[in-house]
Amino acid sequence: MPPIALVRAVLALLVVFFAFTLGRAAVRTVRGVQAPARLMPWMIRFLLALGAILWSGGLDATAIVSLALGGLAGGYGAWRELHPKPPENFVRQMFPKEPGEN
């Protein structure tokens, strides 16, 4: 059986991932791109993973760091969804204009 600290570290990584996807799903839901039913599974996953960390060890450094990183990841996921990268134009790179063409 793995040590509980290792399990809590893996759960902390999952909290950060779930928070990132929760932030993206929240922005999509507010914009009306996806149904609210797609938001709830990410919320449940995030809360269950965070609850497992808190239940197994209480409010200690691992729980505080995972909550803080989860908040940052959620904010970053929302920001990434609000500010998408423009698509790259590979046609100009693959086929540059020849001299004398307009």
The three-state DSSP-derived secondary structure of 61-89 is HHHHHHHHHHHHHHHHHHHHHHCCCCCCC
**100: pLDDT confidence band, cut at 50, 70 and 90?**
low
> What would the pLDDT profile of 72-95 be if each residue is shown by its tens digit?
999 999 999 999 888 888 887 787
Mean pLDDT of the chain: 91
For the chain, domain boundaries? 4-94
> What would the pLDDT profile of 23-38 be if each residue is shown by its tens digit?
999 999 999 999 999 9
Does residue 4 have a pLDDT over 70? yes
The pTM score is 0.81
Residues, the chain: 102
Can you state the percent helix, strand and coil of the chain, rounding each to 5?
75, 0, 25
Residue from 17, 84, 86, 90 nearest 50 by CA: 17
